[in-house]
């Protein structure tokens, strides 16, 4: 054998070994890539399922329907079988069709029982969507599509929670405790009078004239602040004072028979015509059962 042929023979096994190693490296890379894609697929599916596991997600029917549709779109028919989700998705479809009716019926029955156990009254105001209830002193709107219960006083939104009897009762208690707080009828009356006078000065009006509530409430909010805010009036020391809280405080003032004090009487002008239709200008002054009317302005008169 010639020297050249010997050299060719020597190179043969090395070249074959390199070729075999290259193939193996390619197989490993393909395996890693394939598994990585599968892992990404699993992560995507898991994220889709985890959305439906969040508190209240299954009873927020409108969003739940969108999330299920999005998951099905990502999976496709093959993915449903690959990830063994056929039975789960069928159960979700059944829930979206029949579960909403069951949830609505069960919520009404269980909420009535829960209110009875908590010593609360419950009155159905409207059965049309959104269902409106009165759990004194608050109105409660149940939006079953959104899976949300909204609490209001004076038709002003105060807070919201998932539509479950447990959440509704717990939040009702929390909101009422927040509205109640410390209340001194004499002090509140004087603060209203001070805010009224401040508003008149700003508007260039005379004492006794009517002041729109929109021109009054900001001044009252300033008067409702703590001494800490007066010393250092920064946002961290400011306590918000909502339209709903104001209406509730007026309700408490009425209950305390405090509309007339120190030779003066606090009055509210009824909103009529176009003014009543502009909800940003008026406040619905109501009692704990929802009876009331829209008021446009405030004024003080000398008591007779």
- Tokens standing for residue 116: 């009875």
Which whole number is the average pLDDT over 31-49? Answer: 87
Mode of pairing for the β-strands spanning 123-126 and 131-135? antiparallel
Spatial CA neighbour of 279 closest among 295, 267, 299, 292: 295
Confidence of residue 16 (pLDDT cuts 50, 70, 90): low
> Going by C-beta distance under 8 Å and a sequence separation of 6 or more, which residues neighbour residue 220?
191, 192, 195, 241, 246
Spatial CA neighbour of 147 closest among 168, 128, 126: 168
Please give the pLDDT value at position 13: 57
- Tokens standing for residue 257: 């028979």
Which whole number is the average pLDDT over 72-78? Answer: 89
* pLDDT greater at residue 105 or residue 291: 291
Range with top average pLDDT, 60-64, 66-70, 136-140, 162-166 = 136-140
- Tokens standing for residue 44: 């995507």
pLDDT in tens, 175-198: 999 999 899 999 999 999 999 999
pLDDT > 70: what percent of the chain?
A: 94
Which whole number is the average pLDDT over 277-288? Answer: 92
Confidence of residue 150 (pLDDT cuts 50, 70, 90): very high
pLDDT at 1 over 70: no
d(CA 176, CA 12): 89
Which whole number is the average pLDDT over 120-124? Answer: 96
* pLDDT greater at residue 9 or residue 204: 204
pLDDT in tens, 240-251: 999 999 999 999
Which whole number is the average pLDDT over 88-101? Answer: 89
pLDDT at 3 over 80: no
Please give the pLDDT value at position 2: 52
Q: Which segments of 126-269 does DSSP mark as H helices, in order?
A: 165-180, 185-203, 213-223, 227-231, 243-255
Confidence of residue 299 (pLDDT cuts 50, 70, 90): very high
pLDDT at 259 over 60: yes
Please give the pLDDT value at position 60: 85
Please give the pLDDT value at position 301: 94
Which whole number is the average pLDDT over 19-44? Answer: 86
Per the CB < 8 A criterion, the answer to whether 100 and 144 are in contact is yes
Per the CB < 8 A criterion, the answer to whether 86 and 78 are in contact is no
pLDDT > 90: what percent of the chain?
A: 60
Confidence of residue 215 (pLDDT cuts 50, 70, 90): very high
Which whole number is the average pLDDT over 89-115? Answer: 90
d(CA 129, CA 146): 11
pLDDT at 135 over 80: yes
* pLDDT greater at residue 12 or residue 17: 17
Which whole number is the average pLDDT over 12-20? Answer: 69
What's the mean pLDDT when you consider all of the chain? 90
């Amino acid at each position: 054998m010639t020297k050249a042929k010997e050299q060719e023979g020597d190179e043969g096994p090395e070249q074959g070994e390199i070729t075999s190693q290259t193939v193996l490296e390619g197989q490993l890379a393909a395996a890693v890539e394939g598994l990585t894609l599968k892992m990404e697929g699993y992560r995507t599916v898991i994220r889709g399922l985890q959305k439906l596991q969040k508190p209240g997600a299954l009873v927020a029917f409108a969003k739940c329907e969108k999330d299920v549709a999005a998951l099905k779109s990502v999976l496709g028919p093959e993915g449903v079988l690959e990830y063994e989700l056929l039975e789960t998705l069928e159960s979700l479809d059944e829930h979206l069709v029949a579960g909403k009716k069951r949830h609505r019926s069960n919520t009404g029955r269980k909420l009535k029982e829960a209110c009875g156990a908590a010593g609360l009254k419950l009155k159905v105001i409207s059965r049309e969507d959104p269902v409106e209830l009165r759990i004194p002193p608050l109105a409660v709107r149940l939006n079953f599509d959104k899976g949300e219960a909204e609490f209001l006083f004076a038709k002003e939104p105060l807070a919201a929670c998932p539509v479950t009897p447990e959440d509704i009762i717990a939040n009702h208690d929390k909101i009422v405790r927040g509205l109640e707080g410390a209340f001194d009828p004499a002090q509140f009356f004087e603060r209203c009078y001070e805010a009224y006078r401040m508003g008149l000065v700003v508007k260039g009006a005379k004492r006794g004239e009517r002041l729109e509530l929109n021109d009054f409430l900001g001044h009252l909010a300033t008067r409702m602040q703590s001494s800490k805010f007066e010393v250092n009036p920064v946002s961290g020391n400011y306590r918000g004072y909502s339209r709903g809280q104001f209406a509730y405080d007026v309700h408490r003032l009425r209950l305390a028979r405090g509309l007339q004090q120190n030779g003066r009487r606090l009055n509210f002008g009824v909103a009529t015509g176009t003014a009543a239709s502009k909800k940003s200008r008026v406040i619905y002054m109501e009692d704990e059962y929802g009876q009331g009317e829209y008021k446009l302005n405030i004024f003080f008169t000398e008591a007779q």
